[in-house]
A and B are shown apart, each in its own frame.
Chain A
Amino acid sequence: MDFYTFLIQLLNGVQYGLLLFLVASGLTLVFGIMGIINVAHGSFYMIGAYLAWWLAGRFDSFWIALPAGIALTAAIGVALETLVIRHLYDRDHLYQVLLTYGLILVFEETRSLLWGDDVRGVQIPEVLSASIRLTETLSYPVYRLWISAVCLIVAGLMYWVLQKTRLGMIIRAGSFNRDMVQSLGINVQLVYRIVFAAGIALAGLAGMIAAPVSAVFPGMGNQVLIICFVVIVIGGMGSVKGAMLASLLIGLVDTFGKVIHLEAGGVRLLPELSSMTVYLLMAIVLLWRPEGVFGRRP
């Protein structure tokens, strides 16, 4: 593998990893703060991608579709929290998993009724449609760099809100002791609603910006969801820092697993078994630290 091919794969790996972080951080925040495991989180990645396709077609502009889509997913998040999720705060994880699994079925079928089951494509916005030439034959699309940049900016914003603002302080306090924060006169219910909507908007945003480079198809959310679980198991539940590290690790392992050729004893291992590499990584972490790299020890 020459230098430029390596560089391209490295950038692809980082971009995929950062996108995973966007989805996984929402999932891990909602769990870390509210104690809710939301299996339907991946559905919002799918909904985001379909919204990008639908809204971009309506308004004829990706740049109007983006904020409109974020607003819509956040609104769905608020509605969902109000209608069902808040009944789950005191329930066992088993019920949270089952109820949100039921939501996946509802979302997938609603999507099928509204937008059909076909694979859709979204055009890369014109401003970002250029490519950077690396050699005679190789070039790198600007849009992928833009995805990475957006993810990094959102990650920075998230850090700032959680660590440096009053809202962030309340959120962190609420994750330690809900009742205490409540009795200090803060509306914890409202804070939870904001966190849930924000977590879902993050997944929606990830789906929207990923839509132009990956096809928009049914079931895309479930794929992402399960990889996000792996991210969280490796990084540690509720840890945003861990989610970042694990996302990048998985992004790189998955990307390079698909391009490296590896043989052992005449049996081709990679890229044939590339879809299993991230799970093997998880198995190793489980043997070493069952609570994840940055997880709190139980």
Chain B
Amino acid sequence: MNSRRIAIAAIVAAVAALTLLPLFGEKFTVQTFTKIIVMAILAMSLDLLIGYTGLVSFGHAAFYGAAAYALALLTPQYRAANFWTSFPLSVAASAALALVIGFLVVRTRGIYFIMVTLAFAQMLFFLFFDTKIAGGSDGIYIDVRPVAKIGELQPFDLDNFVHVYYVALGCLVMTFVVLRTILQSPFGRVLAGIRVNEHRMLSLGYPTFRYKLACFVIAGAFAGVAGYLSAVQYGVVNPEMLGWHLSAALMMMVILGGMGTLVGPAVGAGIWMLLEIGLQSLPQTDGVDIGKHWQLFMGSFVVLATLLLPKGLAGVADALRGREARGD
């Protein structure tokens, strides 16, 4: 059987397993997987920048947080927002922000791009942290979750955690399909060309600035989808959602799963989140609360993973396959 068929079969099996999960899983499991799915969407959108276009963004959380804040600000006090208007508006807010920031950052490259994306994300962080626009450093609560009514019909209820899970899963599949379509289109091939050699693409007559900006906006919009879902799930939005710790974690998810693939970042998100939950629940021994200092292990893990697994799990899989092909 060729590897492409195996890959498709594996994806279909994974989606099927995820679809069946709420039938067997407890509330905690379903909510944890909702979180993982949201992170998977976010990591995939970042991989469009890092893995496919070669734009290493260290501020991707900004667009995630922006949509979450957009929903918080669109929700009237003590009443529900309309899902069908607030969802596209929140995603549009992230895309608009990505357009403004992208216009400034896409003109830089390499190390500058890393620093500048981080700096602008931090600027947004301070905007919400220091001012009273949306609750300051404590964040803001979304008292009533959006209602998804079309006339009298309500296809899903966002107060129900299982419905939230399926909405997130639907968004994950949609993100995968849309990003895959984009990447296989001529537009996606230009992005790949920019990653490999931007000067050559420029000489071939492609306005690379516009292509990179468009890519930045698309990635920002999908980060917005994740941000909206997250705000719906938790009912609270705080500046940490824009913070650089999340941005760095996202980069790690992309590397962990293997950049330049769409499934890789999703798998990376799953591993990262499960690791985080696992380390946080480490027991207390000899008077030292290990779980409280979980970041020590997370940090060591990051250091070791970047040193030993630069291509992530996709690299490990390739190496194993290569050995098989050589008949070792």
CB of A113 closer than 8 Å to a CB of B:
yes
Secondary structure call for the B interface: helix
Interface stretch of the complex, out of A139-147, A162-170, A171-179, A285-293: A285-293
Determine whether the beta carbon of A286 is less than 8 Å from that of B306: no
Does B303 make an interface contact (CB < 8 A)? yes
A54 CB within 8 Å of chain B: no
Q: What's the Cα separation between A112 and B123 when bound, in Å?
A: 27
In Å, the complex CA distance between A103 and B129 comes to 26
Q: What is the interface residue range for chain A against chain B? A: 35 or more
Chain A min CB distance to B130 (Å) = 5
Does B293 reach chain A (CB closer than 8 Å)? yes
Contact of A99 with B111 in the complex, beta carbons under 8 Å: no
Which residues of chain A (207-257) have a CB below 8 Å from chain B? 222, 226, 229-230, 232-233, 237
Q: Is B255 located at the chain interface by the 8 A CB criterion?
A: yes
Q: Report the stretch among A3-11, A86-94, A121-129, A193-201 that lies at the interface.
A: A86-94
Does A98 sit at the interface, judged by CB under 8 A?
Answer: yes
Residues of B within 8 A of A63 (CB): none
Tell which of A84, A97, A107 touches B307, judged by Cβ atoms closer than 8 Å. A84
- The contact size tier of chain B is 35 or more
Q: Does A105 contact B (CB under 8 A)?
A: yes
Residue B108 interfacial (CB < 8 Å): yes
Shortest Cβ gap from A106 to chain B (Å): 4
User: A260 in the interface, Cβ–Cβ < 8 Å?
Assistant: no
| Docked CA distance A112–B109 (Å) | 36
Residues of B165-220 whose CB lies within 8 A of A = none
Chain A: CB-nearest residue to B293? A109
The residues of B that contact A109 with a CB separation of less than 8 Å are: 293, 295-296, 299
Question: In chain A, what residue has the closest Cβ to B130?
Answer: A275
5 tightest CB-CB pairs across the interface, nearest first? A105-B299, A102-B302, A279-B123, A109-B296, A106-B299
Binding site for B on A (CB under 8 A): 31, 37, 84, 87, 91, 93-95, 97-99, 101-110, 112-113, 222, 226, 229-230, 232-233, 237, 272-273, 275-276, 279-280, 282-283, 286-287, 290-292, 298
Which B positions have Cβ atoms within 8 angstroms of A?
50, 56, 58, 104-105, 107-112, 114-116, 118-120, 122-123, 126-127, 129-131, 244, 248, 251-252, 255, 288, 293, 295-296, 298-303, 306-307, 310
Q: Identify 4 new A-B residue pairs, CB closer than 8 A, beyond the known A94-B255, A106-B300.
A: A97-B114, A113-B296, A287-B104, A291-B108
